[in-house]
A and B are shown apart, each in its own frame.
Chain A
Amino acid sequence: GALVYQYPRRTICKSGTSMRMECQAVGFQATSVAWYRQSPQKTFELIALSTVNSAIKYEQNFTQEKFPISHPNLSFSSMTVLNAYLEDRGLYLCGARVQVNQAPLFGEGTRLSVL
């Protein structure tokens, strides 16, 4: 079956340092990958939509300078949180659509804590 695998599941970094998280599509080709963040006690915000061989589209309040994304092939994407601070804490989800008209499939997420 299709699934989305995220690594690491949990991570802690010092304030001002950077942290990279990975997303892998298993069993299907992830043409587009969306990254979301759930801050503590909040809902999910779309960070960016990444499509292979196309420009990455960032949502308002999120920038490439802060959240650079790599999407080199149809099975892998990574995102880095640069200069992480307290407001960057939360659960980061990677999602991909297996087929059009199907619900986006999410990974288990990477939970980021910042000290």
Chain B
Amino acid sequence: AQSVDQPDAHVTLSEGASLELRCSYSYSAAPYLFWYVQYPGQSLQFLLKYITGDTVVKGTKGFEAEFRKSNSSFNLKKSPAHWSDSAKYFCALDSSGSWQLIFGSGTQLTVMP
């Protein structure tokens, strides 16, 4: 069965530090992977995606993520982090364009100013 795991429910760090939010997935074929961000009271905003090609993908707001097939991970990174990055981040899997996004449970990021 397909699944997405975000093992860290909460991550707190200081402004200026490097952030890395973990995401792992379970899917037997080639995955489409996404990161979205949700600010309080708002909907989802797209950050970046991996479909094929370069395993390091860059997205909006200075974020990037690395697809690692060897350990089925797609971690989100940014350096340095800014207090405005505080939000909830969701990793999602789309099993080869079936359009059925499977979301992880989300990671609440708090960046202390």
Interface residues of A (CB under 8 A from B): 32, 34, 36, 42-46, 49, 59, 91, 93, 95, 97, 100-109
Contacts and interface: CB of A to CB of B under 8 A. Distances in A.
Interface of B: 32, 34, 36, 42-44, 46, 49, 51, 90, 92, 94, 97, 99-106
A1 B56 CA distance: 27
A113 to B, nearest CB: 13
Contacts of A46: 100-102
B101 to A, nearest CB: 6
Nearest to B38: A38
A108 B94 CA distance: 21
Contacts of B94: 104
A108 B43 contact: yes
A101 B51 contact: yes
Contacts of B49: 102-103
Contact of B90 (A44, A59, A97): A44
A36 B36 CA distance: 14
Interface of chain B: mostly helix, strand, loop or mixed: strand
B8 to A, nearest CB: 14
Given A49-B100, A105-B46, 20 more contacts: A32-B99, A34-B100, A34-B101, A43-B90, A43-B106, A44-B90, A44-B92, A44-B101, A46-B100, A49-B99, A91-B43, A95-B101, A100-B97, A103-B34, A104-B34, A104-B99, A106-B36, A106-B43, A108-B42, A108-B43
A43 B101 contact: no
Contact of A107 (B32, B43, B46): B43
Contact of A106 (B44, B99, B106): B44
- From B34, B43, B94, B104, residue with most partner A Cβ within 10 Å: B43
Contacts of B106: 43
A32 B99 CA distance: 8
Contacts of A44: 44, 90, 92, 101, 103
Contact of B103 (A43, A100, A102, A108): A43
